Structure 1
Amino acid sequence: MAGRPKQGIDYSGWSVDIFDGDKKIDKLLDAKGWKGFGIYFFLCQRAYKVNGYFYEWGYDDCATTARRMGGGISSGTVKETVDYCLQVDLFDKGLFDRWGILTSRGIQRRFWAVLSERRSKTVYGEYWLLKPEECKGLVKVSLFSDVQPTNDDVQGTNEDSLYRKESKVKKSNVYKGAFSDSSLESAFQFYLLVRSQNWGEISDEQVNALREDLLSLSSDLAEQKAILNKAAAGGWKNLYPVQSKRRPKTKKQPEKQGKFKNFEEREYEDMTDLTRKLMQR
């Protein structure tokens, strides 16, 4: 199975005039000094490396950021600097308060300069700040599994080609084995649409294989939709499991005796659930 496409970027271009004409940087240096600028620069670079255009960060991460930076920087200094960056709009306060991410128009412009050269140009619409005319060809998808993007989210030169690909998909017979849940099928169709744009058309057999892959990765409807949305947002060729939260430890059950003790028990809510799982294989 091929590896996941890159999310972050390897290089971010900073203007050589950053210390000459950027009033926000002037304010940051005046209020927080070089340590403050170093913290801001560090967090921007983390955004470029990890997700490309945003960094998931909260005040609980102040100590971790301070430890990684070293140089006598304290967690209190990190918090004060981030607060000031939010105040002067070096980071977007609305997106930080709502989604717990650090990003800005400047970060996204530098990211777009790299993304525009890639085959996959997909971002989360809830996180994106740039206007359509600044990023022609961008595809925006939603964070939520029950809100699927339409062709209205496709901007610039990709609009006509994406519409033609969507028409081909609707006219084909690859959905004869469509998922019974309409929202799941909608998420799957959009993933196929983005996948075909990035990786080319695929056969009915490959589509059916992707359906089977999804069912093998999870039997939970919400998680299945999350897998599809994440794959579409990343422009991935294949499907991958989402990272699940660590389950709380449970008391170890006594080992059952008998000749079937080495077989794993599976619990099903009822016979309908068992039948549905068997039919999905």
Structure 2
Amino acid sequence: MGRIKQGLDYFPLNTDFMHDRVVRRVMKREGDSAFTILLYTLSYLYSGEGYYIHVDDDFYDELSDQLFCTDNDNVRQVLRLFVEYGFFDSSLYERYGILTSADIQRQFLFVTKRRSRRHISPDYCLLPDEENVHPTLPDAVAETADIVTQTPDTVTESPDTVTKSTLLKRKEKERKENILPNPPLP
């Protein structure tokens, strides 16, 4: 039986990410290490559950061990500032001790749109109901399966067409090459 993938293999990062007002404010206040702490946190977040990460003393220890000249208190302070300035949702941070945001959840749903199982816990969900499609409903699963089934058919037909076209061109070229302008004398 196949393994059910929880998190993501990659996460997109906008090219203007460093120009985000919140990121600049925290970096100005806490230094350049704030950017590194944020990138590490996002990597853990997307690779773990995919749309949130539980932060506790163990998480702060692990993160600070991977960074030079950064201790637990500095990591905790930087992440609190990102929560305070609205990069992460403050209510879920206070209630459950997790870091997430509506943008992160939206990105998770977008990247996992072809998965048969992509569920955001109702307790942690920050998206409106129309954005948070629950694939556990039969309609959503059937819709996804149709899309996935149609794609290979289209892909399979294209190489056949290309192959036939290529073969015809090659045969025509060979026929032209085999015609000698002056036939040999007997």
TM over 0.5: yes
Name the structure 1 match of 2:11.
Answer: 12
Q: C-alpha separation between the residues in 1 aligned to 2:101 and 2:88?
A: 5
Percent identical pairs in the alignment equals 26
Indicate how the Cα distance of structure 1 residues 122 and 30 shifts in structure 2: closer, same or farther if over 3 A, else same.
Answer: same
Give CA-to-partner distance per residue, 1:126-150, whole Å, 9 cap, x none.
1111223434x3348xxxxxxxxxx
Give CA-to-partner distance per residue, 1:137-172, whole Å, 9 cap, x none.
3348xxxxxxxxxxxxx6xxx6xx26xxxxxxxxxx
Amino acid at match of 2:134: L
Give CA-to-partner distance per residue, 1:244-278, whole Å, 9 cap, x none.
xxxxxxxxxxxxxxxxxxxxxxxxxxxxxxxxxxx
Q: C-alpha separation between the residues in 1 aligned to 2:117 and 2:85?
A: 32
Is 2:134 the counterpart of 1:138? yes
Q: C-alpha separation between the residues in 2 aligned to 1:26 and 1:102?
A: 19
Q: C-alpha separation between the residues in 1 aligned to 2:117 and 2:11?
A: 18
Name the structure 2 match of 1:3.
Answer: 2
Is 2:110 the counterpart of 1:113? yes
1:58 is aligned, of 52, 56, 59, to 56
> Pairwise mapping of residues 1-281 of structure 1 onto structure 2 (< 5 A)?
2-20=1-19, 22-67=20-65, 69-135=66-132, 137-139=133-135, 161=139
CA drift at 1:29 = 1.5
Q: Which of 1 and 2 has greater Rg?
A: 2
Extract unaligned runs of 5+ from structure 1. 141-153, 163-193, 200-281
Is residue 55–residue 97 contact of structure 2 (8 Å, CA) maintained in 1? yes
Q: C-alpha separation between the residues in 1 aligned to 2:31 and 2:134?
A: 37
Name the structure 1 match of 2:157.
Answer: none
CA drift at 1:63 = 2.0
Q: C-alpha separation between the residues in 2 aligned to 1:53 and 1:104?
A: 8
SS of residue paired to 2:24: helix
Is residue 123–residue 139 contact of structure 1 (8 Å, CA) maintained in 2? no
Q: C-alpha separation between the residues in 1 aligned to 2:57 and 2:92?
A: 15
Amino acid at match of 1:70: L
Indicate how the Cα distance of structure 1 residues 124 and 197 shifts in structure 2: closer, same or farther if over 3 A, else same.
Answer: farther
TM-score, reference length from structure 2: 0.68
Is residue 109–residue 130 contact of structure 1 (8 Å, CA) maintained in 2? yes
Q: C-alpha separation between the residues in 2 aligned to 1:197 and 1:6?
A: 21
Q: C-alpha separation between the residues in 2 aligned to 1:63 and 1:121?
A: 30
Is residue 114–residue 144 contact of structure 2 (8 Å, CA) maintained in 1? no
**Alignment size in residue pairs:** 145
Indicate how the Cα distance of structure 1 residues 198 and 113 shifts in structure 2: closer, same or farther if over 3 A, else same.
Answer: closer
Relative to total residues, which structure has the larger helix share, 1 or 2?
A: 2
Give CA-to-partner distance per residue, 1:180-234, whole Å, 9 cap, x none.
xxxxxxxxxxxxxx8x9999xxxxxxxxxxxxxxxxxxxxxxxxxxxxxxxxxxx
Is residue 102–residue 127 contact of structure 2 (8 Å, CA) maintained in 1? yes
Q: C-alpha separation between the residues in 1 aligned to 2:143 and 2:109?
A: 19
RMSD of the alignment, in Å?
Answer: 2.5
Give CA-to-partner distance per residue, 1:45-81, whole Å, 9 cap, x none.
10100100011111453222201x2222111211111
Q: C-alpha separation between the residues in 1 aligned to 2:24 and 2:74?
A: 18
